[in-house]
Amino acid sequence: TRRGESIDFKGVHDALLMEEGAKKNDRRAAKAALGPRMQEVAESLSRGGFAVCDNFIPLELVRQARREMAALVPHFEASEIWVGKDAAAGAQIQVPDVRGDRVLWMCGAHQTPSRGDVAMFDSAGEQPKTRGMVAPCSTKIKSKLSQGGSARVSS
């Protein structure tokens, strides 16, 4: 894009997410419509280091993600650092001057390119039942969220 111009992705997202039952020609046309826009993005990045993309993510999807994230905010915890000589002798402590962020551990399927489509799981928490979903590892947090509205994030 040139200064002040943007690349409009309106309609592309919906077309790319067409149901499997959609006509093959419609899906092919949707993918073809994406090509020129991606070329514009590449040229803009090459020329100026950034690209402005209007309607890249549909507004309702953004709103849904914000609602889901807002439901998770109260469950974040202060981060900790490890202090000690080795794994056997030490402790996790909170030191805001060193690490002042907050974390929420999430569990779910993590795809690894080196292993193809094999799902890798963190054993620290309960895994979501639906493939591709992520959810807080803590069953307490999941229980609270399900009572006051589900917060699930697609990976």
Query: Do residues 112 and 118 touch, judged by C-beta distance below 8 A?
Result: yes
What pLDDT tens digit does each residue of the chain (155 aa) get? 555 688 888 877 766 666 556 677 777 777 787 888 889 999 999 999 999 999 888 888 889 989 988 999 999 999 988 888 887 888 888 999 998 899 988 887 555 555 555 545 555 566 677 766 778 888 888 888 776 544 444 44
Alpha helices in 49-110 (DSSP H): 59-72
Alpha helices in 97-153 (DSSP H): 139-147
DSSP run (H or E) holding 110: strand 110-111
Q: Is 72 left (phi over 0), alpha (psi -120 to 50) or beta?
A: alpha
Query: Do residues 7 and 53 touch, judged by C-beta distance below 8 A?
Result: yes
The pLDDT value given to residue 14: 67
The radius of gyration of the chain's CA atoms, rounded to the nearest angstrom, is 21
Query: Do residues 152 and 133 touch, judged by C-beta distance below 8 A?
Result: yes
How far apart CA 81 and CA 78 sit, in angstroms, is 10
Q: Are strands 53-54 and 7-8 parallel, antiparallel or unpaired?
A: parallel
Q: Is the pTM above the cut of 0.85? A: no
How far apart CA 55 and CA 12 sit, in angstroms, is 9
Query: CA 31 → CA 25, 58, 68, 153, distances in Å?
Result: 10, 17, 29, 25
How far apart CA 9 and CA 53 sit, in angstroms, is 7
How far apart CA 16 and CA 26 sit, in angstroms, is 9
